[in-house]
Amino acid sequence: MILVTGATGNVGGAAVRRLCAMGEDVRALVRSPERADLPAETDLVRGDLSDPSSVEAAMHGVDGVFLVWPLMEAEPVLPVLEAVRPHAERIAYLSASGVDPAAEEQGDPVTGVHARVERAIAASGLHWTLVRGGGFAANDLGWAGQVRGGGSVVRTPFPDARRAVVHEDDLADVAIRALTSDGHAGKAYTVTGPEMLSETERVRILGEAIGRPLKTERQGLDEARAGLAAAGLPPEATEAILAAHADFAAPGHTEELHTAEEVTGLPPRSYRQWAADHADDFR
Ligand SMILES: NC(=O)c1ccc[n+]([C@@H]2O[C@H](COP(=O)([O-])OP(=O)(O)OC[C@H]3O[C@@H](n4cnc5c(N)ncnc54)[C@H](OP(=O)(O)O)[C@@H]3O)[C@@H](O)[C@H]2O)c1
């Protein structure tokens, strides 16, 4: 039995669906089972990662955990790992490609949390695998509000920012391999998509997926800040995101890797595939 956290989100949800399709026993730790839109065969358990006793209660029969950690603090992971350790042998952790394992301090608060969780997991005694995700293609769902209902323009502060964004199914597949096959303990996999694409190129591909032309328009930084604040992001996270995107727009920025293929034996999914899979979110 594999326990998945963050199971109503992009990557955890993909993992649950893929595990169910493989016929594996899956339990999803969710805060609101009544709202979870997951396959019927999922064992839904109410729980909260900030309440380790709820994790403990979800652990019976579990031998592997896919840990998605959405909390903005790392320290609460320690009692969660304590709850996991007597039961599970393996843990796969969804981390971020921005983590520099050699650095004392990380570049922004989010990678700081991931780095501290990574260290706690490495010290846990569990057989661990780190799945360090590059930029998620799913972040582009943030554009859906501008497109749904006939919009043709996506306003974004860095239309030239180029990333090899990754399909959530590739992150899920790498985590599942780590949890269901041998040879992945102690490994850190940085998982990106297969090709560097600017935001303008991705918006064009999204337009092709939904059958009408879309384009980007450069948004002022103040407007972008206001939008991120309205979405609930704290100011330091907003600034970190904007600074990162300025770097992604710099000439020579590259991040394309083919780790998913090395682990799963399958080529990484293209952005075109992601756009087709999510076209209805933009219609
Ligand atoms: N976006 C990127 O480009 C990127 C890149 C690398 C790594 N990451 C990392 O990926 C993770 C997010 O993954 P995602 O995009 O798949 O998630 P997501 O779609 O943002 O969903 C977050 C999930 O966490 C759950 N959750 C929130 N607070 C919780 C709590 N206290 N206890 C239990 N569950 C809780 C939510 O459940 P509810 O339904 O209850 O709200 C939801 O299932 C973060 O750690 C992020 O730093 C992101």
Report the C-alpha gap between 47 and 51 in whole angstroms. Answer: 7
Instruction: Please report whether residue 259 resides in a domain.
Output: yes
Confidence of residue 3 (pLDDT cuts 50, 70, 90): very high
Spacing, Cα 8 to ligand 1 middle (Å): 8
Spacing, Cα 27 to ligand 1 middle (Å): 17
**Number of the ligand 1 atom closest to the C-alpha atom of 12:** 16
- Residue 44 belongs to what domain range? 2-139+165-194+255-270
Q: What is the pLDDT of residue 188?
A: 97
Q: Which of 121, 136, 166, 257 to mutate to test the pocket of ligand 1 (most atoms within 8 A of CB)?
A: 136
Interval 190-208: pLDDT, tens: 999 999 999 999 999 999 9
Instruction: Please report whether residue 237 resides in a domain.
Output: no
Report the C-alpha gap between 5 and 67 in whole angstroms. Answer: 5
Interval 238-253: pLDDT, tens: 998 999 999 999 999 9
Instruction: Please report whether residue 240 resides in a domain.
Output: no
| H/E stretch holding 4 | strand 2-5
Residue with tokens 């391999």: 177
**Number of the ligand 1 atom closest to the C-alpha atom of 8:** 43
Residue with the nearest Cα to atom 12 of ligand 1?
A: 70
Instruction: Please report whether residue 264 resides in a domain.
Output: yes
Residue with the nearest Cα to atom 11 of ligand 1?
A: 70
Spacing, Cα 275 to ligand 1 middle (Å): 21
Q: Within 29-139, where are the H helices?
A: 52-57, 77-84, 109-122
DSSP 173-225: HHHHHHHHSSS-TTEEEEE--SS-EEHHHHHHHHHHHHTS--EEEEPPHHHHH
Spacing, Cα 168 to ligand 1 middle (Å): 12
Q: Which residues line ligand 1 (CB under 6 A)?
A: 5-12, 30-32, 48-50, 68-71, 94, 96, 110, 133, 135-136, 138-139
Number of domains in the chain: 1
Q: What is the pLDDT of residue 256?
A: 87
Q: What is the DSSP letter of 69?
A: -
Interval 129-174: pLDDT, tens: 999 999 999 999 999 999 999 999 999 999 999 999 999 999 999 9
Over the chain, what is the mean pLDDT?
96
Backbone angles phi, psi at 30, to 5 degrees: -130, 150
Q: Report the alpha-carbon angle 126-117-95, nearest 5.
A: 95
| H/E stretch holding 93 | strand 90-96
Residues 209-224: what's their mean pLDDT? 97
Task: Check: CB of residue 120 under 8 Å from CB of residue 93.
Answer: no
User: Residue 87 belongs to a domain with what CATH number?
Assistant: 3.40.50.720
Q: What is the pLDDT of residue 100?
A: 95
Instruction: Please report whether residue 52 resides in a domain.
Output: yes
**Number of the ligand 1 atom closest to the C-alpha atom of 97:** 6
Q: Which of 198, 191, 207, 192 is nearest to 245 (CA)?
A: 198
Residue with tokens 């709202």: 35
Backbone angles phi, psi at 244, to 5 degrees: -65, -40
Spacing, Cα 17 to ligand 1 middle (Å): 16
Sign of the CA dihedral with 34 first, then 35, 38, and 40 last? positive
Report the C-alpha gap between 259 and 168 in whole angstroms. Answer: 14
Residue 266 identity: L
Half-sphere exposure (Cβ direction) of 61: Cα atoms closer than 13 Å: 7
Instruction: Please report whether residue 79 resides in a domain.
Output: yes
- Maximum Cα–Cα distance for the chain, whole Å? 54
Spacing, Cα 9 to ligand 1 middle (Å): 6
Instruction: Please report whether residue 218 resides in a domain.
Output: no
Q: Name 198's bridge partners.
A: 162
Q: Is 128 helix (H, G, I), strand (E, B) or coil?
A: strand
